[in-house]
Amino acid sequence: MTGASRGIGRACALALAEAGARVVVAARDLGKLEEVAGEIRGLGREAFVVAIDLASADSIKEAFATAAREFGRIDILVNNAGVTRDNLALRMKKDDWDTVLGTNLTGAFVAIQQVLQGMMRERWGRIINISSVVAEAGNPGQANYVASKAGLIGLTKSMAQEMASRNITVNAVAPGFIETDMTAALSQALKDNLLGHIPLKRLGRADEVAAAVRFLASDEAGYITGHVLNVNGGMYM
């Protein structure tokens, strides 16, 4: 589970642990990861903490090698880590484009590469990529972020076709606006405007996204692959 230190990543890690998974939590902030791991252990489940920087292929490879060596094979991968560097396209610096695409899309791809051989050997695997409602609907001022999250959907569908014969499913979850630290910083006026575009008239909860991830990781979802599961309150249909 990448990006597991807070928000949606933390909720997904807890949901998978509650479902019986042994969870590797990965992110850059080891302090927050230890807190999440402590919560998981408090449930009577196992958790392993590993530092990872999704902008660095070397860091990704080292993190996955450490997790496999210390914790065993990886059957479920949730690619959740992501960054934003918002600006209008006219003013967007190439570094901001490269950082977001490199972390959100390339980082996810490199992470997937690390688990494929093991999943193929076991003839079982679940890969779940966390995309976004904006990947499907667009969003001004986020050309880099939207492109990265839309790229994840394309990656999901291609990998689903490549891996299906080995009983490895690859799906995406596309959250809408969820109650997290990021949305908490929005002004009330902006929140009110957002709610006007959401048929259910509320922001989503991280645990609602986690429930979708938990389902796609389960045996019950064994005949679902290449799918994008929207968790957005009807914001995009």
Distance CA 184, CA 178 (A): 9
Asked if 79 and 103 count as a contact pair (C-beta separation under 8 A), the reply is no
The domains found in the chain, sorted by start residue, are 7-231 (3.40.50.720)
Strands 125-130 and 168-175: parallel
**String of b and e for 5-26 (b: at least 16 CB within 10 Å)?**
bbbbbbbbbbbbbebebbbbbb
Residue among 64, 97, 145, 177 flagged as catalytic: 145
pLDDT tens-place values along the chain, 237 residues long: 999 999 999 999 999 999 999 999 999 999 999 999 999 999 999 999 999 999 999 999 999 999 999 988 999 999 998 999 999 999 999 999 999 999 999 999 999 999 999 999 999 999 999 999 999 999 999 999 999 999 999 999 999 999 999 999 999 999 999 998 777 777 888 888 989 999 999 999 999 999 999 999 999 999 999 999 999 999 999
| 3-state class (DSSP) for residue 234 | coil
Query: Considering the entire predicted model, what is its pTM?
Result: 0.96
Q: Let me know if 236 is a catalytic residue.
A: no
